[in-house]
A and B are shown apart, each in its own frame.
Chain A
Amino acid sequence: MKKPTRKYLLLAVIALGTWVWFRSGDSDEKRIRKCFDRLAECVTKPSGEQSVMMAAKMHNLGNVFADTCYFECERAMMTGDYTPEEVSSHAVRARSLFGDVKLAFYDLNVLLSGEGRATATVTARLTGTMKSGESFQETHELDCVLAKCEDDWRINKVVVVQVLDK
């Protein structure tokens, strides 16, 4: 291999290494992203989900939210303060309506405001099949506030943004 080619390859390897190192860092923003990943994982229900798996997911779901989380989501009839246990029981009831359901988050923008608080804007997309066989699809923009609790980020406030107002 020619010397200039080797030089370019070396530069590419250095750039790739820097990118991997940067991506693998455990920053607050990355922890917040993981928090949303956990939330999506807990809400997602594959068809034929075992009850043991459901119980484990609902337990983990409680760990995603702060001791008190404020919700403003008229569509899901959730407005006010909820404890993690209340959120979990609400999720159990909602999940029971579906044969399968998938929650995915897109375009997560995190803004760290210091003092262990952060705001996040994200698009949440819920797709699935109702028990009746009807397919279901909902997309909403969420404004969230997160609080840092013992090195971990918990969701403290969830407000559904009205993108289209009839």
Chain B
Amino acid sequence: MSTLLEVRGLNTVYRTTEGQIRAVDGVDLSVGRGEILGVVGESGSGKTTLVTSLMRLIKPPGRILKGGEMLLDGEDLFRLPRSEMPARRGRDLALIPQSAMHALNPVIPVDKQVAEAITAHGKAGRKAALRTARERLVEVGIPPERHSAYPHELSGGMRQRCVIAMAIVNEPKLVIADEPVSGLDVVVQARILRLISDLKESRSLSMILVSHDLPTVTRICDRIAVMYAGRIIETGEARAVFEKPLHPYTKVLVEAIPQVRGPKQDLRSIPGDPPNLHRLPPGCNFEPRCPAAFADCKTVDPSLEEVESGRQVACLLYHDDERE
């Protein structure tokens, strides 16, 4: 699998009244062609800032620090003039935003909205665009009789399908989905994830899928990167990360989610609160909440290192050389 996206040294900061915070802190990641990379983290982990940065939609008081690279098909999108980006969004990389209801225009029928995404790039006339839009709506499972419906006339799942249709209609190289199923009922969640999985097969879609729910995205992701306090703290093949999480925080993410089958285990929870980016500890960011922390964790800030083939983790438990 060849590499489609290569991000190196991405730093995004926000200026606040209490000083500057680094919401994305030196993130490297890559996505192969036809691959789904899951980015998993909780509130405040920086995953939405990451998505917004990749779309280059960060607005003041936030900004992307110079020096980072975002190579899509070998071209560094961070070096493009800002004025070039609207033409690239939707065509090179498309976003499936968190809330489908808010992403859709309430006063325009959904087929027209999807068509607008085509005509906005001047790729086709209105009639042809509408025809293509309806084909994509059928592809994502919206029956023809619903094509001219307004967003409020559709269920949450159908709205999500429309937003997915809009994202794929210009055949972007990369799709970025920000929590595409959170807030939906379980039955609908399963169907939307199946749709994404089907589209990945039929269109060899390349995707970054952002979620707070590691077990749920394990099945459709090829690889997973776990974020905490703006950094990637573990990454590896999806199933391996789920079955054998290494970082203590990843373990919590796996064990905190109840399962309906298998032995009934006590759910894991961790003490403390999500990290405060204004007051990060001197050592490992997770140390104050970590059940496995030892003395060095208070002083040594672990870097992301490869511990086995294809698996990287930022934790002193696995870094022999950093351990005293």
Q: Verify that A and B bind, or say they do not.
A: no
